[in-house]
Amino acid sequence: MITPSDRDDGTAAALVEPAPGRTAVTPAGGRAKPHPTALSVGALLTALVALGQISTSIYIPSMPSLVQVFDTGTAEVSWTLSSFLLGFAVCQLIYGPLSDRFGRRPVLLTGLALYVAVSVACVFVTTIDGLIIGRLLQGMTACAGPVLGRAIIRDVYGAERSATVFAYVGVALAVSPAVAPMIGGYLQTWFGWQAAFVFLAAVGVLLLVLVLRLLAETNRHRIPGSLRLGRLAAAHATLLRSGRFHGYVLAVAFVFAGLMAFTAGAPFVFIDVLGLSPERFGMLLVFNVAGFLAGSLAAGRFTQRMGLDRLLLVGVSVSLLGGVAMLAPALAGTISVAVIVGPGAVFSFGMGIVLPGGMAGAMAPYPTIAGAASAVLGFVQMLVSAAAAMLAGAFTPASQLPMAAVIAGCTLMGFLAFLLLVWCRPPHRRGRR
């Protein structure tokens, strides 16, 4: 039976303090690669974790135009987002255990190669059903980056430092949701919706080359029988018996689902209802990203000073405040850019705290099954997000009300899950997770 522990076997600690210029060698004994803590590898891991966000957000400005391109409705177009999230959710349960058995690097290379192929295929679809299927497959392959990137961070930095590292990765991740829609808006205006998928294929090729050149294997806990049904069941049973694990995972999942509800509803509200251009809509997302960036910086600065759980309580509370602040004017019948963007930035500030802290809190106790823990976390996160995106996109928007209602509901659920399953469980009981 695999049991959680707050201590590693010393491998991660040995990896954290490399001498200047130190290199790591691949298990095969091939070309020497940078140490896993090198700046170049850190930048690569950040890009891998961001792959899901980039794949989700770059085509958002194109969503309203897809209604005319494929002669369909907003609900069908929203399915291109939901299908991506569903594929992303399910395949994380596959990549995690595979990486626990065969190592992070070969599984990651396979996932990235498939991602490139599927992204190219999406360029040539001619029906909305074809694009929905293509996005499903794209989600199934894109999840290799985030799930294995998180597991590699856990491998390298161990339980103690992973929360801080996730927070600083979150700072860098704040750039992608701002830059990707801005790029997507201009690609849509200049070249049409297919250009976004050409761009994603190019990103996939770049990441594939960088993984080949820079990333050494980091999984020192490979278990030959980890893919056996009994061992998989034991690993997941260890995770599912933990009430605190549930609390961290659900807090991350519901807060992130609020973001996906915004992603599904915002392009139609801003472009169709308020009449903004795709590129101006993309630029407005800078305010949300500024909030997320500020929250991530706060998490990196105050995690050790305040304690993870206390800081997370602040994060889920701020996200809930932002969700309620967006819902209130919608219920009053008021619609404008300001009453959406302002509360959205507040919500994003809280999310910048919740996402890195919740990920670290969920994964820290499980060094030997970090891949499985990352997979379960990602599965629940994306499954809840797909449901939120479907719900927010199910209505033809006449105002921001459907989107705001889903965001407020998701943040309330995340707040309650953290409060009941983590905050109300005293720290001295953590050994009984």
Q: Tell me the per-residue pLDDT of 338-384, one tens digit each, with 9 for 90 and over.
A: 999 999 999 999 998 898 788 878 877 676 666 677 778 878 888 89
Amino acid 20: pLDDT = 39
Parse the chain into domains and list their residue ranges.
34-432
Query: What CA–CA distances, in Å, run from 356 to 26, 306, 362?
Result: 28, 15, 10
Amino acid 301: pLDDT = 77
Q: Residues 313-345: pLDDT tens digits? A: 999 999 999 999 999 999 998 999 999 999 999
Amino acid 318: pLDDT = 96
Cα–Cα distance for residue pair 37/28, rounded to 1 Å: 20
Give Cα 401 distance to the centre of its chain. 25
Instruction: Enter the DSSP assignment of 226.
Output: T
Banded pLDDT at 158 (limits 50, 70, 90): low
Cα–Cα distance for residue pair 29/13, rounded to 1 Å: 22
Query: What CA–CA distances, in Å, run from 363 to 22, 74, 92, 230, 322?
Result: 27, 37, 15, 21, 27
Banded pLDDT at 12 (limits 50, 70, 90): very low
Q: Are 267 and 77 in contact (CB under 8 A)?
A: no
Amino acid 383: pLDDT = 85
Amino acid 316: pLDDT = 94
Residue 364 CB: number of other CB atoms within 10 A? 23
152-161: average pLDDT? 71
406-413: average pLDDT? 95
Q: Residues 272-317: pLDDT tens digits? A: 888 888 878 878 888 888 888 888 788 777 777 788 888 899 999 9
Amino acid 22: pLDDT = 47
Banded pLDDT at 189 (limits 50, 70, 90): confident
> What are φ and ψ of residue 411, in 5° steps?
-65, -35
Q: Which residue has the higher pLDDT, 201 or 2?
A: 201
Q: Which residue has the higher pLDDT, 175 or 69?
A: 69
Q: Residues 23-39: pLDDT tens digits? A: 444 444 445 666 666 67
Which class in CATH covers the domain with range 34-432? mainly alpha
Lowest mean pLDDT, pick from 140-154, 159-173, 410-424? 159-173
Lowest mean pLDDT, pick from 82-96, 122-136, 147-161? 147-161
Which of the residue ranges 40-54, 55-69, 314-328 has the most confident prediction, judged by mean pLDDT? 314-328
pLDDT at 13 over 70: no
Cα–Cα distance for residue pair 256/354, rounded to 1 Å: 9
Give Cα 278 distance to the centre of its chain. 24
Exposed e or buried b per residue across 67-77, where buried means at least 16 C-beta atoms within 10 angstroms of its C-beta: bebbebebebb
For residue 126, give every residue at least 6 positions away whose Cβ sits within 8 Å of its Cβ, in sequence order, or none. Answer: none
Q: What rounded mean pLDDT belongs to the chain?
A: 80
Q: Are 239 and 381 in contact (CB under 8 A)?
A: no
Residue type, 128: I
pLDDT at 170 over 80: no
Cα–Cα distance for residue pair 255/350, rounded to 1 Å: 9
Amino acid 294: pLDDT = 87
> What are φ and ψ of residue 49, in 5° steps?
-65, -30
pLDDT at 238 over 90: no
pLDDT at 271 over 70: yes
User: Following DSSP, what letter does each residue of 70-117 receive, concatenated?
Assistant: TT--HHHHHHHHHHHHHHHHHHHHHHHHHHHHH-HHHHHHHHHHHHHH
Amino acid 194: pLDDT = 92
Give Cα 391 distance to the centre of its chain. 19
**Pair of tokens at residue 267:** 């392009």
Amino acid 361: pLDDT = 82
pLDDT at 225 over 60: no
pLDDT at 193 over 60: yes
Amino acid 236: pLDDT = 67
Residues in the chain: 433
170-198: average pLDDT? 81
Banded pLDDT at 152 (limits 50, 70, 90): confident
Query: What CA–CA distances, in Å, run from 3 to 11, 243, 386, 432?
Result: 18, 15, 31, 10
Burial (CB count <10 Å: 0-12, 13-18, 19+), residue 1 = exposed
